[in-house]
Amino acid sequence: MPPVRRPSPTLRLASLLTRLRFGRVLAPVSAVGRHPRVLRTLYRLETGAQRWNSLDPALKHLAVMAAAARINCSWCLDFGHWHAERLGLPMETIRHVPVWRDHRDLFSHREALVLEYAEAMCETPPRVGDGLVAALRDELGDRALVELTAMVSLENLRSRTYLALGLTSQGFSADCAVPPLPARRGPSPEETP
């Protein structure tokens, strides 16, 4: 999307805040900022979600990355890879999230359940089975499962919005010590009829 010719006060403030926090204006802020009310609403949603704390942050990030990979949002994967490094997560593991089924040895049983759940939620229609939910309830408990579900839903909102608005990688992952793998294209072999 071309730059906004006359940014609103909301967009100017959001641009300043993201420049201070991330060293650049985030492309989603520039795109969504064309509608200040939407930008303010999404900001409140994002800041509220940052305060959720029932789910382990590493599991939360794996779920977000799996959802972004499943939807194939290059902006989300790029930013997510960079954010994982800032969180101190193992980058060799994070880079394999888009192809985690081919590298199961890198992920614990709990992590694999979270990744499978995130992918299942991203299908249209969602393909979340009762057995998977029961296994996650046993592993995480009810509060963390609800938070996991909400985080994957939030990433669906982000990824689908950013794809529809034509946003692509902004180069965040270029600053990482371990570069990301390319996003997986198409269904995994076990999903092919």
Tell me what pLDDT residue 127 has.
94
Count of domains forming the chain: 2
Regarding whether 46 and 60 lie in a shared domain, the answer is no
pLDDT of residue 145: 98
How sure is the predictor about 182, in pLDDT bands with cuts at 50, 70 and 90?
Answer: low
Range of the domain at 40: 7-51
Can you tell me the distance from the alpha carbon of 76 to that of 94, in angstroms, rounded to the nearest whole number? 13
- Any domain includes 191: no
pLDDT band at 184 (very low <50, low <70, confident <90, very high): low
Does 93 reside within a domain?
A: yes
Phi-psi region of 80 (alpha: psi -120 to 50; beta: other; left: phi over 0): alpha
The full DSSP string for 87-127 is HT--HHHHTTGGGGGGGGGGS-HHHHHHHHHHHHHHSSS--
Residue of 82, 75, 81 whose CA lies nearest to 162: 75
pLDDT in tens, 55-96: 999 999 999 999 999 999 999 999 999 999 999 999 989 999
Which pLDDT does position 175 carry in this prediction? 73
The answer on 182 and 98 residing in a single domain is: yes
Is 156 domain-assigned?
yes
In a domain, 1, yes or no: no
Give the domain CATH number at 70.
1.20.1290.10
pLDDT of 189 over the 50 cut? no
CA distance linking residue 162 with residue 167, whole number of Å: 5
For residue 53, what is the DSSP state?
-
At 152, the pLDDT band (50, 70, 90 cuts) reads: very high
Does residue 39 belong to any structural domain of this protein?
yes
Same domain, 22 and 76: no
Are 63 and 118 found together in one domain?
A: yes
At 103-140, the pLDDT tens digits run: 999 999 999 999 999 999 999 999 999 999 999 999 99
Of the chain, the percentage scoring pLDDT greater than 90 comes to 83
112 and 31 inside one domain: no
